[in-house]
Amino acid sequence: MEKDILLYGLSEERVRFFCGIMDGKINLEEKAFRTDKRCNKFLLGSYTIDSYVDSLVSNMGTNKRFLQDPEQWKIWLNDILLYKPKSFPLWEEYYSCMKITSKTQGKFIEDPIKQGCKNGVDMAIVYPNIMIYFVLDGIDMDLVVTKSKAYDPSYTGNELRYVYRRWSEAKEKIVFFEKNREVPAPWVAGEYQKVWKSYQPKSWHGIKQNLQTNQLVVKDQEQPVQRSQIRSQLPLYKHVNRAKAVSETGIVTTSDRTSNTKIHNEKERF
C-alpha cells in the first residue's frame, strides 16, 4: 500500500533524491509513495516538511500575541483547519497533530520552525498512512551528535536527534536513504553507530535509551475560558468570513490581514 510521505534532510540533497525518483533513476520498489492527484506530482514542496513549517510560521504571524494559553491555541488551530490548500495533502493531519499545552506553547512561540519540524515526526507516528523519508546525504553526523554551534540554526540536526529520541515509536514510520539507497538508521548500523552511542539527550536525565519518556501527552490544565471571548480577539477569526481561500503557499490570506513574519526559505536547513 502506497503511503503519503514527508521528505526530511538537507535541501539540495532532497531535491536530487526527489528528482531521481520522478525521473525513474531511483527505484523505491515497495517504498513507492502516493502522489496527490490534486497537485502537480513534480511539485517538491508538496512533499517536504519545509512547506508545512513555512505555513505554520506565516500563519502564526500577527496572531502570536493572542496565543497566550492552550485554549487560544485550540481555537486558532480549529480555524486553520477550515482551509485545505491543494498543494498541502497532509494539511489536516499536520495541524490536527499539533498538541499545545501550557508547557509547549512557549516553545512554539519562541522557535516555531524547530517545533514545526518535530510536529512532522509526531504526525508520522500518529497517522498510519504517513511515512518520513529521511535523506542522510551531506549530513555531518559528528557535528549533529555533538550539537556543534557550527551548524546553527541546525534544523536538520534537531530533526535527526528528535527522531533518535522517539525511535521506539518512530522506527516503523521512518525510512533512511543515502546514495539513493535505503539504509538503516545511523544509530542502528553503519559507520556512525558508535558516534550515536555517545549522544545523551538531556531529557533522559542520565538514563541511556529511555525511549518511553517521549510520549504525546495531551493535558489541558487551564481554567475554562469562554471561547466566544477568545475567538473575537483573534485577527484570523475576525476576518474568517471574508477569507475565501488559502493560497498555493498554504498561507491563510484575508482582505485585511498580511503576515509580518518572514518564512525561513532563505535559511539553510542545517
End-to-end CA distance of the chain: 32
Q: Quick: pLDDT tens for 122-171.
A: 999 999 989 999 999 999 999 999 887 665 556 899 999 999 999 999 99
User: DSSP label at 240?
Assistant: T
In 3D, which of 244, 269, 270, 238 has the Cα closest to residue 256? 238
Whole-number pLDDT of residue 17: 84
Whole-number pLDDT of residue 83: 83
Whole-number pLDDT of residue 231: 52
Whole-number pLDDT of residue 265: 38
What's CA 124's distance to the chain center, in Å? 9
| Mean pLDDT for the stretch of residues 212-238 | 46
Where helices occur in the chain by DSSP H, the ranges are 11-22, 49-60, 70-80, 91-96, 105-110, 112-126, 141-145, 155-165, 167-170, 193-197, 227-233, 235-238
CB 165 within 8 A of CB 176: no
Q: Which residues contact 128 (CB under 8 A, 6 or more apart)?
A: none
Cβ burial 242-270 (10 Å sphere, 16+ → b, else e) = ebeebeeebbbbeeebebebebbeeeebb
| Mean pLDDT for the stretch of residues 229-236 | 52
Instruction: Count CB neighbours of 99 within 10 A.
Output: 18
pLDDT band of 241, cuts 50, 70, 90: very low
Whole-number pLDDT of residue 204: 64
Distance CA 172, CA 174 (A): 6
Instruction: Count CB neighbours of 152 within 10 A.
Output: 10
| pLDDT of 39 strictly over 80 | no
In 3D, which of 48, 47, 85 has the Cα closest to residue 250? 85
Q: Quick: pLDDT tens for 61-105.
A: 878 888 888 888 989 999 998 887 878 889 999 999 988 888 888
Peptide bond before residue 85 is cis, with ω within 30 degrees of 0: no
Q: Quick: pLDDT tens for 254-264.
A: 333 333 333 33
Share of the chain above pLDDT 70, in %: 63
Q: Which residues contact 163 (CB under 8 A, 6 or more apart)?
A: 121, 132, 134, 170, 174, 185
CA dist 263 to 116, 146, 221, 231, Å?
12, 27, 32, 25
Distance CA 165, CA 191 (A): 20
Q: Quick: pLDDT tens for 44-54.
A: 767 889 999 99
